[in-house]
Structure 1
């Protein structure tokens, strides 16, 4: 029977790559995103819902639809997230900090909260949370983002403990720098803050990675499909970095 897979933040980037990879694997797909135009570009065969992953009412509606359409859920990819501000901690506005944490952390919490009863009832399921190597190493000038990505690892490990007795696994994927518009924006903002060029910042990031390379959204999607498979049936409570091995999380530029 084909897997029933929900991906939050699935309209573009890593989330869409995950959805496409699971679809190729034969899964039924449900994607949510705040970007209605991005969702409109997704295949019509996918279930879709526009909304904010950190909004409890939206997430309640998502899982009500899942219950009606599928009567259960096999895989939840809590992927929705935002980059947050790029600034020294003393220059970060409290509301910007809260918003970044809300989307990245509370969005994952809500996905797990509403998935857990369904998965417990069927005594199976996989919850995958998108963290970051910023959630392993820290990230200067990105305190809201790094804080949230550290926090989702604590959430994931607790889910693995609470839900493991019901046959449910939880893991986190920690991407490195993923090629695409989001990291381009981060690099541009950091270059401005440091008074240098985006090219210099990019070179510094690459120099801090053993494999001297950024990763692709497909690399992350491939890991998600594996972690949701029977090949990873006893992998739970783990943080899996897909980053080419970060040696230095704060390369000096």
Structure 2
């Protein structure tokens, strides 16, 4: 029974999730809420706030804007501190050869996927020291593999892994754990858009591109948003209390991109 109990987060955790009203973020939000946590989220999609469980706090925020992140933390201060921060916000970025990608598109990808995580971590660090809490940074299997025609995205996600490992070293002496989750091909509208764009770039059909992607996964399947949420819950549970500085792939074993 003691082992089983160690897999369940304690009741009343104070949790902040960025981009928590859609996709993976929404699955994580719902999972923590169902586990008895008090949750506050941000998202740029105000209408998506309607997806949130009753009682979950919401702030409209673009994490690439420092002022928005500061306003988010002010709004989340009603939780009375933070035990878990999930740095989930990110964008797919442009698809194209490196000589075709516009500098503005490159900068936007880095601003959201990397700088946004820094802005959140900067304000979260002190609160997590107080609680000896957990920071989860959302990376990607593109943060451990090369990804042709998606260089801004891959570069940003490799950087997130470096950020994670560095913060784990920096904050660990204060009892703070920092880990990255590396999702693989996650079922949903976002990956559908990526497949469409890569198929167009390759001048092949959607179905052929999808099958090519699945052939690079040893389990030949996409993962579900709930798979990512389950990993986040485990990291926040007592059983995850000695896990830090790790880049944890939840991907059905993606072998190449």
Q: TM-score range, shorter-chain basis?
A: over 0.9
Query: How many residues are treated as equivalent by the alignment?
Result: 247
SS in 2 for 1:92: coil
Whole-angstrom CA distance in 2 between matches of 1:7 and 1:80: 8
Whole-angstrom CA distance in 2 between matches of 1:60 and 1:86: 31
Which residue does the alignment assign to 1:33?
43
Give the counterpart of 1:20 among 30, 39, 54. 30
Which residue does the alignment assign to 1:245?
253
Whole-angstrom CA distance in 2 between matches of 1:137 and 1:150: 9
Alignment of 1:1-253 (within 5 A): 1-67=11-77, 69-122=78-131, 124-249=132-257
Tell me the alpha carbon deviations over residues 56-85 of structure 1, each in whole angstroms, 9 at most, x when there is no partner. Answer: 111111112222x12210000000000000
Contact 2:38-2:79 at 8 Å conserved across structures: no
TM-score (norm 2): 0.94
SS in 1 for 2:143: helix
Contact 2:30-2:53 at 8 Å conserved across structures: no
Tell me the alpha carbon deviations over residues 177-235 of structure 1, each in whole angstroms, 9 at most, x when there is no partner. Answer: 00100000000011111100011111011000010001110000000110111101010
Report runs of 4+ in structure 1 exceeding 2 Å deviation: none
Q: Displacement of 1:87 after TM fit?
A: 0.5
Q: Displacement of 1:25 after TM fit?
A: 0.8
Q: Displacement of 1:248 after TM fit?
A: 2.5
Contact 2:59-2:75 at 8 Å conserved across structures: no
SS in 2 for 1:76: strand
Tell me the alpha carbon deviations over residues 149-195 of structure 1, each in whole angstroms, 9 at most, x when there is no partner. Answer: 00001111111011101110000000000010000000001111110
Structure 1 vs Structure 2 CA RMSD: 0.9
Select between 226-235 and 113-122 the one with higher mean Cα deviation.
113-122
